[in-house]
A = this chain, B = another copy of it.
């Protein structure tokens, strides 16, 4: 059963495992540094559909179907799917997953969705509310530009702080097989708002949320950054990453050595300068987690990883009305070991539902 570590963190007593996963990308992702890590690269940005929105639905379907196939699973083996995306009314998820017939908890966490869905799926497994859950998300450059910014045909100039929405997605299947990667703990974010109003600087809007969640994880668990091989944020990009490191340093937390950002990993800002400050979108952290990070944990090349996906929670309407941009960040602690002895255990004496009693941990 999940147990509380401090105010914001839940430890997972019998750490759920990542049973399978798959990563989908498109042309630009296939030209970036992680080009060999995707399960599927589709060079046609329409993914064979007639609109970008339908293409994005296709990304979710491809991601979950490939994850199922790799895990030798059928949709009926999955008890719940937790999914969300950036589109208005999260249509990539509901249209993308409708044929699967899996009970759906629809989420909205903007670009934090991969960590939000992974958190809920893991809590469900450790609670025995489910045997297997899927966590799925996606984004598409063209559907996001059209919805949040300008028609592509307008060919607007991009500012140096702007980020490039990843056309891609990821699907993770969580279960209880005793094999790495394990999900050890989750820290759930609160809405943080530092008053940023520039929609072309999402990194700055999301960095305070990442900083708050990371600080809380370390405070709750008593762990230290040097116990981790990688502390990876979702899509802060170049600008947001700098702000995050600075905010944490002011609080006495130096994660400089461990920090990576999916938005800086997926594109090469030198050979792909049009991405400006880096990649973004739900599919950014989704595809990097599934294509790059989870395989490395499985192979034992990474042992202890904090995955923190960050979301900017504005809409075009809220921005047009002069609203600031609130951010949120959810953290998932992934490990190659089910029990590394570093995380506090259940400390309180609790009564088990079977009438048994659990001693102090």
Binding site for B on A (CB under 8 A): 1-4, 8, 10, 13-14, 51, 53-54, 79-80, 84, 86-91, 93-95, 97-98, 101-110, 116, 119-120, 123-124, 126-129, 147, 188-193, 313-318, 321, 323, 326, 328, 350, 352-358
CA–CA, A123 and B328, complex, Å: 23
Name the B residues within 8 Å of A3 (CB-CB): 128
Q: Which of B51, B80, B106, B316 contacts A107 (CB 8 A)?
A: B106
Q: How near does chain B come to A66, taking the closest CB pair, in angstroms?
A: 20
Number of copies: 2
Inter-chain contact A116/B105, CB cutoff 8 Å: yes
Q: How near does chain B come to A105, taking the closest CB pair, in angstroms?
A: 6
- A107-B107 contact, Cβ under 8 Å, with A123-B129, A128-B3, A350-B128: yes
Q: Which of B90, B91, B107 contacts A105 (CB 8 A)?
A: B107
Q: Which of B86, B103, B353 contacts A352 (CB 8 A)?
A: B353
Q: How near does chain B come to A238, taking the closest CB pair, in angstroms?
A: 24
Inter-chain contact A54/B321, CB cutoff 8 Å: yes
Q: How near does chain B come to A9, taking the closest CB pair, in angstroms?
A: 10
CA–CA, A208 and B357, complex, Å: 45
Q: Nearest B residue to A317 by beta-carbon distance?
A: B53
Inter-chain contact B190/A1, CB cutoff 8 Å: no
Q: How near does chain B come to A128, taking the closest CB pair, in angstroms?
A: 6
Q: Which of B88, B104, B120, B129 contacts A315 (CB 8 A)?
A: B88
- A51-B190 contact, Cβ under 8 Å, with A2-B127, A127-B1: no
Inter-chain contact A106/B103, CB cutoff 8 Å: no
Most chain B beta-carbon contacts within 10 A, residue among A13, A79, A108 = A108
Q: Nearest B residue to A148 by beta-carbon distance?
A: B89
30 pairs across A/B with beta carbons < 8 Å?
A: A1-B127, A1-B129, A2-B128, A2-B129, A8-B103, A10-B129, A87-B315, A88-B88, A88-B89, A89-B110, A89-B314, A89-B318, A90-B108, A91-B323, A94-B328, A95-B323, A97-B191, A98-B190, A98-B193, A102-B190, A104-B188, A104-B190, A104-B328, A105-B188, A120-B120, A127-B127, A128-B350, A352-B353, A352-B354, A355-B356
CA–CA, A304 and B192, complex, Å: 40
Name the B residues within 8 Å of A8 (CB-CB): 103
Name the B residues within 8 Å of A354 (CB-CB): 352, 354, 356-358
Inter-chain contact B98/A326, CB cutoff 8 Å: yes
Inter-chain contact B91/A190, CB cutoff 8 Å: no
